[in-house]
């Protein structure tokens, strides 16, 4: 007689009788080979690896993988208050898929590996991802792909070993997103944004190695580091606000901080404060082709550029509404400041608030 093995997810339901907690154990059948669907509210845990997809279609569900592995997890649209935690997901396709209309989704302490995309999220309100490792992404895949999401936090997570065309996080039409204390290693691009990226995205205390941070429409980078990479904004339209505070870019094959081909807009803001850019093949800080009718405002203040293969501070257009205050450039291969007619004399002190004020050229060593 052939033996059939079934794997049971266990649901504990707590009811209160006469001020005492009574535990009732229920069982949901999940075949270890073909997976299954969870619809009832409750807390579940795995006791065995599952080699196919587990689908969650319901609300108030906690799934503890219990250190086990499953192939994929799919959260259906309309699901709410769902938590997935403590285990391994991967080996094919997309690790976790969250369908349109889901809300309050929590992914915690997961290792998602050897997949095309780590997490795909479509039109989700309130997504929280923490202590997740996403690694070994396909050549054209993404660690996290977010479309139309709002009120999202991604923190304390690691993105590693993507292909040359892959992205750590790709988002479009999303807003109020915070990326905090995350690391990106060996991707084509650490962060990338579609043309319709909407509201503010904050990137805080995060770092990349051998990949760059791209900027969307409204971005704040605070205390971020790009090692063998840089920070760039390209093709951004519709009044962008780009803010960089206490950021470091080191050793890229291009420029450290670059703002290129930012098309015509009614108004935009670019602000860099106490940023450091060094050892790049190109320029330390580059502003180029900001459009013919754009009225950009902002400042580069107390930034440092040194030992770059190009120019330290290079304002190709001479954008007069961008102010350069108290910056320091030295030992750059071409020039410390360009164009010279704009920045010279770089040590001028003008209390009236000149555009180029107290920028300093160091001694070449």
pLDDT in tens, 234-264: 765 566 788 999 999 999 999 999 987 655 5
pLDDT in tens, the chain (365 residues): 443 334 445 444 433 322 222 222 333 556 777 888 999 999 998 888 998 899 999 999 999 999 999 999 999 999 999 999 999 998 778 999 999 999 999 999 999 999 999 999 999 999 999 999 999 998 888 999 999 889 999 999 999 998 788 999 998 888 889 999 999 998 889 988 876 666 789 999 999 999 888 887 788 999 999 999 999 987 655 667 889 999 999 999 999 999 876 555 546 788 999 999 999 999 999 988 665 555 667 889 999 999 999 999 998 866 656 788 889 999 999 988 887 656 654 444 444 445 566 677 775 44
Given a contact cutoff of 8 angstroms between Cβ atoms, the answer to whether 141 and 165 are in contact is no
Given a contact cutoff of 8 angstroms between Cβ atoms, the answer to whether 248 and 272 are in contact is no
97-134 residue pLDDT tens: 999 999 999 999 999 999 999 999 999 999 999 999 99
pTM comes to 0.86
Q: Output the six-digit token pair for 215.
A: 């900027």
CATH 2.160.20 fits 37-361, yes or no: yes
């Amino acid at each position: 007689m052939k033996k059939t093995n079934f794997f049971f997810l266990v649901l504990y339901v707590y009811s209160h009788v006469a001020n005492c907690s009574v535990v009732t154990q229920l069982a949901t059948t999940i075949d270890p080979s073909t997976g299954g669907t969870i619809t009832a509210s409750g807390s579940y845990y795995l006791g065995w690896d599952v080699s196919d997809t587990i689908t969650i279609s319901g609300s108030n569900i906690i799934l503890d993988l219990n250190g086990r592995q499953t192939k994929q997890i799919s959260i259906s649209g309309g699901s709410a208050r769902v938590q997935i935690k403590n285990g391994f997901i991967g080996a094919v396709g997309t690790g976790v898929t969250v369908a349109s209309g889901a809300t309050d989704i929590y992914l915690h302490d997961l290792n998602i590996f050897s997949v095309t995309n780590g997490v795909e999220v479509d039109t989700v309100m309130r997504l929280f991802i923490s202590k997740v490792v996403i690694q070994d992404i396909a050549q054209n895949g993404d660690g996290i792909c977010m479309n139309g999401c709002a009120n999202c936090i991604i923190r304390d997570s690691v993105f590693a070993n993507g292909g040359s065309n892959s992205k750590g996080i790709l988002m479009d039409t999303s807003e109020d997103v915070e990326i905090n204390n995350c690391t990106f290693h060996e991707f084509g691009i650490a962060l990338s944004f579609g043309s319709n990226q909407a509201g503010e995205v904050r990137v805080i205390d995060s770092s990349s190695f051998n990949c760059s941070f791209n900027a969307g429409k409204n971005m704040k980078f605070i205390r971020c580091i790009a090692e063998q990479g840089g920070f760039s904004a390209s093709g951004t339209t519709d009044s962008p606000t780009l803010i960089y505070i206490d950021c470091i870019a080191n050793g890229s094959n291009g420029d450290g901080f670059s703002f290129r081909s930012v098309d015509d807009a009614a108004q935009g803001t670019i602000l860099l404060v106490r940023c450091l850019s060094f050892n790049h093949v190109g320029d330390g800080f580059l502003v180029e082709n900001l459009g013919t009718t754009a009225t950009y405002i902002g400042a580069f203040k107390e930034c440092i550029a040194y030992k770059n293969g190009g120019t330290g501070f290079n304002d190709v257009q001479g954008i007069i509404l961008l102010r350069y205050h108290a910056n320091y450039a030295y030992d750059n291969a071409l020039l410390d400041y360009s164009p010279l007619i704009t920045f010279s004399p770089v040590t001028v002190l003008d209390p009236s608030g000149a555009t180029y004020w107290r920028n300093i050229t160091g001694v070449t060593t």
